[in-house]
Amino acid sequence: MAELKKYLPEKKNLRILDVGCGTGFFTILLAKEGHQVTGIDLTPDMITHAKELAEEEKADCRFMVMDAEAPDFPDEEFDVIVSRNLTWTLPDAEHAYQEWFRVLKPGGVMINLDANYGAADFADTADLPENHAHHQIQDELMQECEDIKRQLPISSFLRPAWDLETLSRIGVEEFSFDLGISKRIYTEKDEFYNPTPMFLIFAKKQSRIMLNIKQIQYFAACAKTGSFSQAAELLFTTQSNVSKVIRSMEDDMRTQLFVRHAKGIELTLEGERAYIHVQRILENIDELEMQAQPLAKSSLCVCFHPSSWFADIFVTYYEAHKCDDLHYQVYAADTHEIIKRVKGRQDDMGFAYVMQNQLAAFQYFLSRNYLEFELLTETEVNIYTGKGKADEGDFNMSQLRLIQRFPDEFSPDNYRNLVEENGHSAVKAETVVVTNSDYIVERLLGSGELCNISGADLSGRDPGYSSVKYTFPGEGQKLVYGCICRRGEELSEQGKDFLGFVKERLQIPESDKRIKQKTRRDFSARDTGS
C-alpha cells in the first residue's frame, strides 16, 4: 500500500476507480484510507466475493460488474484510476487507456501495475516455489491460459515501452514508470510470488484548458500561413485582431505558441504539438457539418479489407441500384479500423479476412466490442507474385522478397504469425517495403520483383501479376472471410440487401445462419499472472 500511496494526490476523500478490482484488494484498502472508491470487474463472482470481503472489513466502498474497456461513467468522474494485473488481458488496451482518461478529471492520475506477461510462459512453473498456487492448477488449464494469452494482441508487444508509446499517442503528456517495484513488493517467495517483473506506470491528465472555436480557427490560420497579416486576410479581419486572439490563447494555455520575428511568425515546439490537436478538432468539426447535410432517403455504409474482388462486387451492386435514391459510403481499412468504424456506427457492416488460428481471439475481441461475426467462406492464403515468377508446384518461400501492408495481427498481412507444425515461423522471407497504399502494392507487384502475402483478393482484370493459393503447414493456417455487425442489432433493409448480394456471389444459401459469438470461458487471466 505504501508503494501506491506515494503516487496519490495530496488530497483527502479522493474519488478513485479500481479497474479490474478482482476480489477488491485495492478497493478495500483505499476505502479504509478515507477515499470514495468504486471497484469494477467483468466477472460477477469476483464482484460478489469483493462485496463479502468489504462487509467483513467494514469498508465503505461500492462494486459493479463492468467492462474495463467500456466503463459506464460520465466524463471526468474520478480523481484517481488504479489497476493491477489487468491491462495485459485486454483485447484493446489502447481503447481502455482512452476510456480511463475520459473518466479521469483534469489533473487526475492513473496508476497501473502490470507486467510483460506476453514474454512469459504460464505453462512453465519450474521457477515457482513448491507452495505456489499455480502448482495446484491442472497443466491443461495452465496451457489453455497460455494459448489464450498468446492470441491477445498486447502479448506481441514489448512492455512497458508499448504503454508509454500508446499513452503519448492518445495525448497524455506527463507520465513515468518504475521498473523496480517487484523487488519491493515481493520480499518473499510465497504462494503469491510473481516471478515476472512487474512495472508501475504513472500518468497524469492535463488540467483543462478552455479554448473557444474562434481561438482554434485563428491559430490554425496563423500556423498555416506563418503570418498574422495573411491569416487576417483569410479570416476577413484585421491583423491586430488576429494578434489579440492568439495572445489570449497563449495566456489561456500558459505557453508561447509562436515566435514573432520581422519576417513573420513561427510555431514553437509547444505550438507544433498544439497544431496537431487543432487539426484533429477542425476535422471533427468538418465531419459534424457533413453529417448535418441532408442525405438521401436511404444509405449504405460499409468498410472492407482492400480487395479487387470486393470492389467489383460493390461496383456491380451500384450499377444495379444507381437509379435508386441511395447514398453510399465505402471505406477500405485494416481489421482494427473496421471494428472501430462498425462499433462507432460510421459503417453498417465490415468485411474482413481472418486467420483460422486467430479466430478465437478475434471472436473474443469482437465480443468485448459488442460485435458479432458472420462467417461467409473459407479459403487459402494468397501469395501474389510477378507474372510467371512462380507456379503452384514450384514455390520456394525462403526466396521471397515481400511488399506488405502494415501489420494486422488477425490477417496474413502479419505473415510472421504463420507458423509451421514445429512452432517455427513458416515464412523466412525478407520484407522490403511496408506501405498502406494499395496503389504502391499493385505497382510493385506488377514490376515482378516483389511478392505479397495477403488474405485479400487483389486480382484485377489485368493486374500484371499472378496469385498462388498457398496452404501453410499446420492447423489453422487457412483464412475465413466474413461480415462484422453490431451484436443484437438488425441490419437496415439496404444492409440486408447488400449482404444478400455478397452471399449470392459467394453462392451461400440464405438458410445459413450467423455464427454468434461463443460464450467466453471465465478466464481470470490477471489472477493467473499475479
* Residue at 52: amino acid letter: E
3-state secondary structure of 117: helix
- The string of pLDDT tens digits covering residues 139-151 is 666 667 667 767 7
Question: According to the model, what pLDDT value does residue 437 have?
Answer: 79
Short-list 500, 335, 300, 510, CA closest to 405: 335
For residues 331 and 354, what is the distance between their CA atoms, to the nearest angstrom?
18
Cell output for 499: 449482404
Structure confidence at residue 512 as a pLDDT band (50, 70, 90): very low
Handedness of CA 212, 216, 219, 225 (dihedral sign): negative
Give the residue among 191, 515, 188 at the shortest CA–CA distance from 354: 515
pLDDT digits (tens, 9 = 90+) for 77-89: 999 999 999 998 8
pLDDT at 517: 32
Model pLDDT, residue 208 = 63
Residue 125 CB contacts under 8 Å (≥ 6 apart), including other chains:
132, 134, 135, 142
Tens of pLDDT, residues 369-405? 889 999 998 887 777 777 656 554 455 666 778 888 7
Mean pLDDT of 285-292: 64
Residue 333 near residue 303 (C-beta atoms within 8 A): yes
Enumerate helices (H) and strands (E) in the chain, giving the number of each: 17, 19
Q: What is the mean pLDDT of the chain?
A: 80
Q: Distance between CA 374 and CA 89 in Å, rounded?
A: 25
Alpha-carbon distance 386 to 23, whole Å?
58
1-5, 51-55, 272-276, range with the lowest pLDDT: 1-5
pTM, two decimals, is 0.45
Ordered by where they begin, the domains of the chain are 2-208 (3.40.50.150), 213-292 (1.10.10.10), 298-506 (3.40.190.290)
DSSP, collapsed to helix, strand or coil, labels residue 410 as coil
Which of 71, 167, 93, 152 is CA-nearest to residue 118? 152
> Angle at Cα 79 formed by Cα 74 and Cα 84, nearest 5°?
95
6-13: long-range pairs with CB below 8 Å, 24+: 7/109, 7/111, 7/200, 7/202, 8/80, 8/109, 8/111, 9/79, 9/80, 9/107, 9/108, 9/109, 11/79
Cis, peptide link before residue 473, omega less than 30° from 0: no
- d(Cα 180, Cα 113) in Å, to the nearest integer? 11
CA 338, 342, 347: angle at the middle one, nearest 5?
100
